[in-house]
Structure 1
Amino acid sequence: MKEIRQQKKQPEVIRKRILEQATILVSQKGISGVSIQNIATAVGITKGGVFHHFPNKKNLIEEMFNQIILDLDQTVEYLIKRDQTEYGKFTRAYIHSSFIHQIDGVVSAWSALSMTMITEPTFNKIWMEWLKNRLSQHAETDSHPDLELLRLAADGLWLQSITGVIDDEQCSKLEDDLLNRTYLT
């Protein structure tokens, strides 16, 4: 008689996949276009499986948003530590991270971040708090108005790239141009 082996449960893996699918769906449809059923189907579990990890959609979206901010913060910190030039260090990390942050090469976490803030403005406060704290930490190196303009230009460039107004090649060239301008005083 064959022994039936039950697959070991991996709650952290499932939780991560739920958050990833929520991020993908939010980036495509905004918060209102996301359902627990869609997430469950994409992950390959039941709605009850999603509710096992998150008591409701609001909690799931909050956790997703906080995870994106945490991932972004870790990416920015990593890029800052690798940067040898003090002036504009945070700005370069901010610009660069806005174009590399993807989930499974499919979607930019920035898309989900933006769609969350656009469709549910209460999340703007969390984003603004993160940005304000980062700018305060890097006031010595990144408070120049020219660097603020470059960060805002990067936000606009990112938006133009995801809406298809400019192609990947143009985007890459313009991103490089923005990064190069962060070295000018």
Structure 2
Amino acid sequence: MDNPYKRKKDPERVKQLILDAAMHQLAEQGLTGFSLQSVADAAGVTKGGLLHHFPSKQALMQSAVVEVISLLDQAIEEHIEKDPVDYGCFTRAYIHFTLQKDMHGIGSLSTAVSMAMLTDQVFNQRWVEWMDGRLARHVQTDANMDLMLLRYAADGLWLTMYTGIDEHSNTQLLVDEMLCRTYPASS
């Protein structure tokens, strides 16, 4: 007779539960609050079960960062598909998601990855590879120097927002102005 309390094995689902819990913890706690035990608890697995899927804290964090970059990439792609103007489409999507204030969606996950990127060379390299790939895909629409400056400005504004030194009343004005400048100049 089957034991009704024994969980059926579904390693892919368990692995995804662990990744989801890790991404959530990165978004909520950052790297400093990231622990294997709290991820295991949130995923409903033992620490040993977590280590079965991810042999180290670094491996789990790397997988979580890759997953977040993949989710960000999907969100950016969806944003671009809805954009009726080709010129600057990637830059507009990048600014939108970089400067998003939501604390539960892709914006908070993106912030977690950005913080990881600032402190870890492996995460930084993954981000650089993603950005280089995106820029290569959008060379026809986003290879303009003005658009590059706007992406860098978005990164700088993100840092001031993250550290809390931005003046909130001006932040939205800056975001709106940056987005406005991503469109081609009218003749």
Shift, 1:128, TM fit = 0.9
Unaligned runs of 5+ in 2: none
Within 5 A, what are the aligned runs for 1:74-113?
Answer: 74-100=74-100, 104-105=104-105, 108-113=108-113
**8 A Cα contact 1:99 1:158, kept in partner:** yes
Counterpart of 1:173?
173
Q: Distance in 2 between matches of 1:164 and 1:29?
A: 16
Shift, 1:174, TM fit = 2.4
Q: Distance in 2 between matches of 1:107 and 1:180?
A: 21
Q: Distance in 2 between matches of 1:160 and 1:76?
A: 22
Counterpart of 1:160?
160
**8 A Cα contact 2:71 2:106, kept in partner:** no
Question: Given the superposition, is the C-alpha separation of residues 107 and 86 from structure 1 closer, same or farther in structure 2, using an over 3 Å criterion?
Answer: closer
2:157 aligned partner, one-letter code: L
Cα deviations by residue, 1:145-182 (Å, 9 ceiling, x for unpaired): 11011111111111222222236554333222211111
Counterpart of 1:135?
135
The normalised TM-score by structure 1 is: 0.82
Shift, 1:137, TM fit = 1.2
Counterpart of 2:151?
151
SS of the equivalent of 1:108 reads helix
Shift, 1:103, TM fit = 7.0
1:95 aligned partner, one-letter code: I
Question: Given the superposition, is the C-alpha separation of residues 16 and 162 from structure 1 closer, same or farther in structure 2, using an over 3 Å criterion?
Answer: farther
Q: Distance in 1 between matches of 2:41 and 2:35?
A: 10
Question: Given the superposition, is the C-alpha separation of residues 169 and 87 from structure 1 closer, same or farther in structure 2, using an over 3 Å criterion?
Answer: same
Unaligned runs of 5+ in 1: none
Shift, 1:134, TM fit = 1.0
Cα deviations by residue, 1:29-61 (Å, 9 ceiling, x for unpaired): 42x652211222333432123123222222211
Q: Distance in 1 between matches of 2:105 and 2:30?
A: 18
Task: Indicate the percent of aligned positions where both proteins have the same amino acid.
Answer: 42
Counterpart of 2:37?
37
Counterpart of 1:6?
5
CA RMSD of aligned residues (A): 2.8
Size of the aligned set, in residue pairs, is 182
